[in-house]
Structure formats: structure tokens, C-alpha cells
Amino acid sequence: MDIFSKIMKIDFLKYISIFYHELGFTELYIIFILVTIIILDYVWFYLQNTKKMKKEIFSWITICFFIIVWITLMFFKFYKKWKFNYWVDIEGKGQLKYNIAKLLSPSEYRTILVLIFSYQFIILIAILMYYKLVFSKKKNFYEEQYWKISVKILMYFFITYGLVGTVKVCMGRDYYRGMEYVIYNRIDIYYEKTGDWIIFNPKWVTTPEYQPWWNFNGLIGNPQSINWSLDQLFNANAFPSGHMAQMGMVGMGFCFIINPRDKQTINWKKVVPIYLFFFHQLIMVLSFLINGSHWLTDTSFTWMWSIVTIWIANLVVDASLDKIGNKKNTEIQNFK
């Protein structure tokens, strides 16, 4: 960890690490919107056949509505961050607006937020337009029942976040960046870059020493150790990583274009984006090590749990749908 944290001296890599850290808070929105739109498109298709309603109109209204929802969510997500309520005391120069944990000024941080908003907005529009104008126009789109994949992705979300969220509340592992010597290291880096010395503030220390991932913070009978504020309930502890759970959900989106059981659905045009996704995932893990957002075991635990959850989500949804289908067939046979 210490080796990676020293990379914060290099501005370019520092900016990338913070970019990826902030990016991870909102990647979930796009895949959530996509799977919801797909499910609703199947609903509109069913209603078009039964109620004689115009599916296309409702489909476009749904897309426009969720674009507005995304913009609203991003606004509320970034609003508090935009205020940038971080201050440090400089020897002989009074106070300066600066985030010592991330080594960023307000202008640098806000630039990163703008880049994230722009990047994800372009991705959102590109995915929705491709879905609407190309993917949903496939002749066998409704026969393929892509709504099932959407349900599996949602099931993955609830199972993965159910465990990650519960464990995150109960564990007592603080973030690496809160260790005293790491903060002093940040102060040294700032001094090397500017020649100004930041006065150390003991309140910045949130992690007194290395903490193994298996340390518990609060369990049944010990709720007073848990920070129950909505702000900190899932953010107070580092283990396990919620960012990696989001990445897993994004990765499951590839199930729309690739069926692992059907080799005909696999070609280089589809494999390349998957490799890029894994590279994207690797950069995110490295960015956490650089800026001290997570320990390596925080991310590796969630990554391994995500693999198990993908299998569980597929199993649960397939079994549930088969059971419902068999029940309906039985009812039809009994009716006859």
C-alpha cells in the first residue's frame, strides 16, 4: 500500500486515481437505467398486443424520463461534493481550501467531477441510442426474452449488495488514507510541490494502525459501535468494497450481447470490450491503492463474492421462472 500511495506525487496518476474513485460512485446508474428500460419495453410490447396502445411512443417517453432521472441523480450526488468543504492550515499563511487526503484543490476536484459527468452522460446516451435504434430492432428481440437477463442483473444487485452492505456496516476497518503516517506523507508531498508546510490536524487520523479485514465493529448486542447516520452507515468502513460490486453489475451487462453457452455469440468485436472492461476494473483497483480509498483485500473480497453471486443470480431466476412456468402449465392442463 505504501508503495502505491507514493504515486500520489505524480499529478497525472493522482488525477486518474481520484477520477476512478469518484467514477465508481455513479457507474451503477447507467446499467440500472438500461435494465429497467428493457423490462419496461417488454411491458409496452405486451400492452400493445393486448390494449392496442402505441409501444414506440411509450418507449421513447421512458428513455427521455430516465435521462432526466440520471441528470437529477448526478446533480444530487455532486451537489455536496461541489461545495468542497475541506480546509488546511498553512504555516504563516492562514487557512487554505484543500483536501489533504486527496491532495486536491477545489478547482482540480470540480474539474474531475465535470469530466465524470460528461463521460458518463456520453456513455449513457450512446448505450440508450444503440439499444433503441439497433439492439431492440433485432428480429428476434422479443423472442430472446432479454427481460430475463435484466431480472438476473437486478437479482445480482440485491444479493451482492445485501452481503456487501451488511458486512460493511458490521466491520471495523477504516480507510488506509486515515493512518497518521499516510497523512504526514501527504503533507510532505504538498511541501515538495509548493514549499508550504501544512499544519498537522489530529482530527484527520481515523485509522490508528493497520487493521485486518476480519475485525468486527458492531454485531448483535453491540450496535453502539455502528455509525447509524445515513451519511456514514455504508461509508464509514472500508471493508468490503462497494465500488467493486457496482463494477460487477456493469460487467453483467455483457450478458446482453454474449451467451457463454453459445459460442456463436462470441467474436472479437464482443471480446475486445470485455477485455477493456477488465482493464477498466484493474485501473479502478489500482486507483484505490494509490489514493488510499481501499485496501487490496477490500476489493478482492467483493470481486470473489461477485463471481459467486453471478452464479447464484442465474440459478435463482432460472429456477423461479421455471417453477412459475410449470405452475401455469399445470393450471392450463387442469382447466382443460
Q: pLDDT per residue over 219-259, tens digit each?
A: 766 777 777 777 777 777 888 898 888 888 888 887 777 66
Phi/psi for 99 (5° steps) reads -100, 105
- The one-character DSSP state at 93 is T
* Residues 290/125, Cβ–Cβ less than 8 Å: no
pLDDT at 327: 62
* Residues 305/163, Cβ–Cβ less than 8 Å: yes
Which has the minimum average pLDDT: 64-73, 153-162, 173-182, 208-217? Answer: 208-217
pLDDT at 335: 42
Which has the minimum average pLDDT: 82-96, 219-233, 278-292? Answer: 219-233
Angle at 155 between CA 149 and CA 161, to 5 degrees: 135
**Residue 314 pLDDT greater than 90, yes or no:** no
pLDDT at 238: 83
**Residue 279 pLDDT greater than 50, yes or no:** yes
pLDDT at 64: 94
Report the DSSP pairing between strands 94-97 and 87-90: antiparallel
Phi/psi for 202 (5° steps) reads -55, -25
Cell output for 184? 504526514
Element (H, E) at 89: strand 87-90
**Residue 330 pLDDT greater than 80, yes or no:** no
pLDDT at 221: 61
**Cα–Cα distance for residue pair 288/18, rounded to 1 Å:** 8
What percent of the chain is modeled with pLDDT above 90? 27
- Over residues 187-212, the mean pLDDT reads 87
pLDDT at 272: 82
Helices assigned H by DSSP within 24-177: 27-51, 55-83, 106-133, 146-170
Q: Is residue 294 very low, low, confident or very high in pLDDT (cuts 50, 70, 90)? A: confident
Q: Is the omega angle on the peptide bond into residue 260 within 30 degrees of 0, that is, cis? A: no
Number of structural domains (the chain) is 1
- Closest to 149 (Cα-Cα) out of 63, 34, 27: 34
Distances (CA, A) of 297 to 62, 90, 100, 314: 40, 35, 24, 26
**Cα–Cα distance for residue pair 136/283, rounded to 1 Å:** 32
pTM for the structure as a whole: 0.86
Cβ–Cβ contacts within 10 Å for residue 251, how many? Answer: 20
Q: Is residue 217 very low, low, confident or very high in pLDDT (cuts 50, 70, 90)? A: confident
- Over residues 133-154, the mean pLDDT reads 86
Cβ–Cβ contacts within 10 Å for residue 161, how many? Answer: 18
pLDDT at 53: 64
**Cα–Cα distance for residue pair 21/73, rounded to 1 Å:** 18
pLDDT at 167: 87
pLDDT at 336: 44
Domain housing 19: 1-335
CA 227 to chain centre: 22
pLDDT at 332: 46
